[in-house]
Homo-oligomer: A and B are copies of this chain.
Amino acid sequence: MVELQYRSRTVSPSERFTMKKTLLPLSRVYRLLEPGPVVLLTSARGPMTNVMAMSWHMMVDFEPPTVACVISDRNYTFELVKKTKECVINIPTVELIKKVVGCGNVSGRRVDKFKKFRLTPTPATCVAVPLISECSANLECKVIDASMAHKYNILILSVVKAWVDRERKDPRTIHHCGRGVFMVAGRTVKLPSKKK
């Protein structure tokens, strides 16, 4: 594993052990994104990093897990991801809601958002982009198709590694309803279904 140094303090591999994140089989990644949570997209180029709040994403295929997302070409994240072809989708829960809104309100061109919002960067294993330690799940992604970026700002990502905190039962994801209003994940219901 390459030890990367970002602008903020980086968690070492031994410290990461205390994060209690374990690998999630790639076949289960869709279960995290299909409900439509707000995610924090991290990107990096050398020591420069960024964190972007993102709601415009969808699953495109189950396995390998393929995700489409919209990143405006006015965003610093677009610049970084376009160059490196790598990013991490981090899934925050309601405890992080103020940091999520904060990340959405400033540009990473001017501030180190990891530092400003006290988010802990942890090295990924397959991409040179930090995971956000505080999030309940982290999906390491490679950009596999940018042909729709010009017309729609759509990037197609392949999730190559997935981490999840199994000790956090029933994580309360947040879902953006516009203008700073968020719906917090409520109760779950299970019905017999033939579908994935």
What is the interface of chain A, defined by CB distance below 8 A to chain B?
A: 28, 30-31, 34-37, 53, 55-61, 66, 68-70, 94, 97-98, 101, 104-105, 148, 152-154, 156, 172-196
In the complex, the chain B residue whose C-beta lies closest to that of A28 is: B178
Contact of A98 with B35 in the complex, beta carbons under 8 Å = no
With a 10 A CB-CB cut-off, give which of A30, A37, A105, A148 has the most chain B CB atoms.
Answer: A148
Q: Which residues of chain B have C-beta atoms less than 8 A from A188's C-beta?
A: 177, 181-184
Q: Which residues of chain B have C-beta atoms less than 8 A from A194's C-beta?
A: 104-105
Q: A59-B70, A68-B154, A195-B105 are in contact. Are A175 and B180 (CB under 8 A)?
A: no
Contact of A192 with B175 in the complex, beta carbons under 8 Å = no
Of B28, B35, B94, B178, which one neighbours A36 at CB under 8 angstroms?
Answer: B35
Q: Which residues of chain B have C-beta atoms less than 8 A from A59's C-beta?
A: 55-56, 70
Min CB distance, A117 to chain B, in Å?
A: 14
Min CB distance, A161 to chain B, in Å?
A: 19
Contact of B156 with A180 in the complex, beta carbons under 8 Å = no
Contact of A175 with B185 in the complex, beta carbons under 8 Å = yes
Q: How many copies does the complex hold?
A: 2
Contact of B181 with A34 in the complex, beta carbons under 8 Å = no
Bound form: Cα–Cα A177–B170 in Å: 11
Bound form: Cα–Cα A105–B101 in Å: 38
Contact of B191 with A180 in the complex, beta carbons under 8 Å = yes
In the complex, the chain B residue whose C-beta lies closest to that of A182 is: B189
Q: Which residues of chain B have C-beta atoms less than 8 A from A178's C-beta?
A: 28, 30-31, 34, 196
Contact of A56 with B70 in the complex, beta carbons under 8 Å = no
Contact of A58 with B35 in the complex, beta carbons under 8 Å = no
Q: A36-B175, A154-B60, A193-B104 are in contact. Are A183 and B180 (CB under 8 A)?
A: no
Sampled A-B contacts (28; CB under 8 Å): A34-B175, A34-B176, A35-B55, A35-B183, A36-B37, A56-B59, A58-B68, A60-B153, A68-B152, A97-B189, A98-B191, A101-B193, A101-B195, A104-B195, A105-B193, A105-B194, A174-B189, A175-B175, A175-B185, A180-B191, A181-B188, A181-B190, A182-B189, A182-B191, A183-B188, A184-B187, A184-B188, A186-B186
